[in-house]
Structure 1
Amino acid sequence: MDIQPFSLPLSSPLSTADGTIESRRGFLVRTEIDGVAGVGEAAPLPGWTESYDACQAALCGVEKPKQALEDNVFDDTPAARHAVSLAVADAAARRAGVPLYRRLGAGERVESVPVNATVGDGSPSATAEAVADAAAAGFPAAKVKVGNRSLDADIERIEAVRQRYPDIELRVDANGAWEFETAREAVESLSALGVAVLEQPLPAEALDNHRRLRGHGIDIALDEGLLRHGVDAAIAAEAADCLVCKPMALGGVDIARSAAERARADGWDVIVTTTIDGVVARAAAVHLAASVPDVRPCGLATGGRLASDVGPDAAPVSDGTAAVPQGKGNIPPL
C-alpha cells in the first residue's frame, strides 16, 4: 500500500471552535486488490476525526488493506479507515466495471445530486447577500451557520434572508451551541420563518432533548450526535428527523451508506456532507449521495474552499447540483 501525504491550502482561512484552519492535510492511499488499483483519501480533521499523526500511524501500520478492514483495526481512526476502505471499494468498482455509486447500491444511472450552499456567520445584510448569491447560482437550499451570536441576533439574520428570498429552502446549523430552552425558542421562531431544517441545535450528548424538539414544524437533524452515539442509538431515541452523514468522520462511504440505509428504513431523511476534503474523498461523497434515493440537497459544494487540489474536480458543481462521475470506480486515475 502506497501512502502519499498532501497539503491543500484553503482559499481563505476557516475559523472553528478548535482554531483557525488554513490548509487541509492528509494522505492519498493507493493499493491493488486482485490486480486492480484503487485510491483512497484520508483528510483528518481534529474535532471530527483523529489527529494527522494518529492517522499517519494507523495507515503506516496497514500491510493487508482488506484484512485490516475485516479485523476492525481502525476503531479510533475514522479518517484512516475512510482512506483504506475507499481504496478497496474503488478497486472493486473498477474490477466490476461500474461507477462507485452503483457498487454502493444504486439501482439505476444517476447523473447529478442536489447540493446546498453554506453561509457562515455575518451581519443580517451580509447573510442575506450570501443567500442571494447562492440563489443566483441555482442552489435549491442554503444552510446558515448560527450560534456565535445571541438567538435574537441570529433570528434577525434569518428574517433578513426571508424578506429578500421568501421561497428558497433554508437550513440552520447551530453545531450544538444552544441549551434546551434557547433551542426550544429557536424552533418556534425559525419554524415561523419557514426554516426547513435545524441541524444539531444541542450538544451531541443530548439525544433525549433533541427528541423533545421534534414535531414543531421544523425537521431536526443530527450531525455531531450521530458521531457520538451511532445511528442505532439515535434512531432508538427518536432523536431526529434527518441524519447528516460525513463519510470521513464516520469512517468510510461504506459505513455512511449503511447508516443512510438504516435511517431511510426508519423514515428519516439523509443529507451527505464533506469535511472540506480533497477531490478523491469529495467525489466519493457524491457517489454516496447518488446511491441514496431521493436524497435531499447535500453539503457537497466544498471544493471551492480549496485553493488547490490533488487532482481535477471530478464532480463539479453547477446550477445547484454536483455531477456524478460515470466512469469505473470513484474518479479517473490521478
Structure 2
Amino acid sequence: MKAILKNIKFSFLPYHLKFKFDAGTSRGVLKEKTTFFVKAFENEIPQIIGWGEAAPLPKLSLDDLPDFEFFLKDYCNQLSGIDLRKSEEEILNWVSGVIPERFPSIRFAFETALLDLLHGGKKKIFDNPFFDQNEPIPINGLIWMGNKNFMLEQIDKKLEEGYNCIKMKIGALDFEQECSLLEYIRARFSKDEIILRVDANGAFDPKSAMEKLEILSRFDLHSIEQPIRQGQIQVMASLCRSTPLPIALDEELIGVNGEEGKRNLLETVLPQFIILKPTLVGGLQSCMEWISIAESLEIGWWITSALESNIGLNAISQFTSTFSVTMPQGLGTGQLYQNNLDSPLTIKEGQIYYEKEKGWGELLNGFTN
C-alpha cells in the first residue's frame, strides 16, 4: 500500500438545512442554516472520496462572514494538488499550518475530509470503537427555548425516550418560568436519576448572575454553561471561584488561539468544565490541545456538536470515541433537521450509535464537481 495521498483535489457543495421547528436560543430563533460539504479525493482515484463539513454558526462563529463561500472556494482552489503522507498527525499538522485560526469551521472541514480519505472514503475518521465496534456514546437530551408548553413537551418526550441527562437552554423566558420547568423535572426525578444541565448562552447580567446561580443550585444541577456573555474574563473568574454550582465555559473559548492563549484563559478563570465544539474552536487538533491543558489543570470537559449535519456529527462522534468518555456528550443534534442526510447515526435511550448496516443517503453520491 502506498504511503502517500497524491495530488489531492478539493471542492465543496452548499446545502440548506431546515429545522423541524423554530430553534430558539438567547441570540435569536433559527429556522434554517446553510452548511458546506467539502470533498477531498486523489486526482487519479476520484471514486474514493473523503467528506468534511464547514458549518459556521450564525452570529457566533469567527468565520460567520458574508463572503464565507469565497474564502472556502479560495482554499479549495489553492490547496488542491498537494501530496500528504498517510498519517493522522501529518494531516492535522498540515491543516493547522495552511488554514489560519480565524477560519475554524474550514479547518474542521479539511481535517475531517482528509481523515475520511485517509481511511478509504468510508466515513471513517479515526480508528475508534464508535465506528468499528458499534460502541455507543452517552449523550444529553437537548431542550430548546420556546414557550413554556413547548419546553414541557420536549422535556416529557426526552424523558420518555430514556435520556438520563437533560440539557435545557435558558435565558429567553422569564427566569421564574424557567425555574418552574426545572422544578417540574426535579419533582419527578432526583439528581441520581436524571442529570440536569442548563445553558444560559451568556444571557445573565453580571450584576445578577450570582443571585441566579444561587437559585439554580437548588435544583441539583450538574452544571451551567456560559452564564454571562463571553469576554468578561475577570467577572467569569470571580463567578467560578464562588459559584454554588459548576460552571462550564463554552462561547468563552471561541477565538482563543495557541497553547499559551488557551492556558492563560483556563489558568485565569479556572472553570469547573469546558465544552468543546470543533467547528467553533479551530477543529480537532485545537480540541486536543484544549483537552490536554484542561486535564493538566484538573478541569473537566465534554464535546458538543454545533448544529452540523450528520456528516459533521459523525466526525465529532468518532473523535469523541477516541477518548474514554463516561459523561454524557452533546451529540444529539442530528435529529433537528427535516432534510438531514440519511446516515447510520442512531439514538436509542440517551445514547448515539453508528449502525453500519443502515448506510448513508444518496445526496453526496450525486456531487461530482
Aligned 8 A contact 2:210 2:243 in 1: no
Shift, 1:93, TM fit: 3.4
Cα 1:89–1:156 shift into 2, 3 Å: same
Cα 1:153–1:20 shift into 2, 3 Å: closer
Please give the residue correspondences for 1:1-334 in structure 2 after superposition, counting only pairs within 5 Å. 1-16=10-25, 19-32=28-41, 37-49=49-61, 50-51=63-64, 53-62=66-75, 63-64=78-79, 69-94=95-120, 99-102=124-127, 111-122=135-146, 127-166=151-190, 167-214=193-240, 216-230=243-257, 231-309=262-340, 311-324=341-354, 334=365
Q: What SS does the corresponding residue of 1:61 show, helix, strand or coil?
A: helix
Shift, 1:326, TM fit: 7.1
Cα 1:192–1:154 shift into 2, 3 Å: same
User: Percent identity between the aligned chains?
Assistant: 21
Cα 1:52–1:235 shift into 2, 3 Å: closer
1:267-319 CA-to-partner distances (Å, cap 9, x unmatched) read: 2222211221111101111112212222421221111110112x322321111
What do you get for the CA RMSD once the two structures are aligned?
3.1
Shift, 1:33, TM fit: 5.3
Cα 1:52–1:206 shift into 2, 3 Å: closer
In the alignment, structure 1 segments of 5+ residues that lack a partner are: none
Q: Which runs of 4+ in 1 moved over 6 A?
A: 330-333
Aligned residues: 328
Q: TM-score, normalised by structure 1?
A: 0.86
Shift, 1:52, TM fit: 6.0
Shift, 1:155, TM fit: 2.1
Cα 1:76–1:64 shift into 2, 3 Å: same
Shift, 1:19, TM fit: 4.5
Letter matched to residue 61 of structure 1 = D
Q: What SS does the corresponding residue of 1:163 show, helix, strand or coil?
A: helix
Q: Which has the larger radius of gyration?
A: 2
Aligned 8 A contact 1:289 1:295 in 2: no
> Which residue in the other structure is 2:4 paired with?
none
Aligned 8 A contact 2:195 2:221 in 1: yes
Cα 1:70–1:295 shift into 2, 3 Å: same
> For 2:18 and 2:150, how far apart are their aligned partners in 1?
25
> For 1:307 and 1:165, how far apart are their aligned partners in 2?
31
Letter matched to residue 210 of structure 2 = R
Residue range with higher mean Cα deviation, 17-26 or 161-170:
17-26
Cα 1:220–1:27 shift into 2, 3 Å: same
Q: TM-score, normalised by structure 2?
A: 0.78
Shift, 1:111, TM fit: 0.7
> For 1:269 and 1:276, how far apart are their aligned partners in 2?
23
> Which residue in the other structure is 2:89 paired with?
none
Cα 1:150–1:177 shift into 2, 3 Å: same
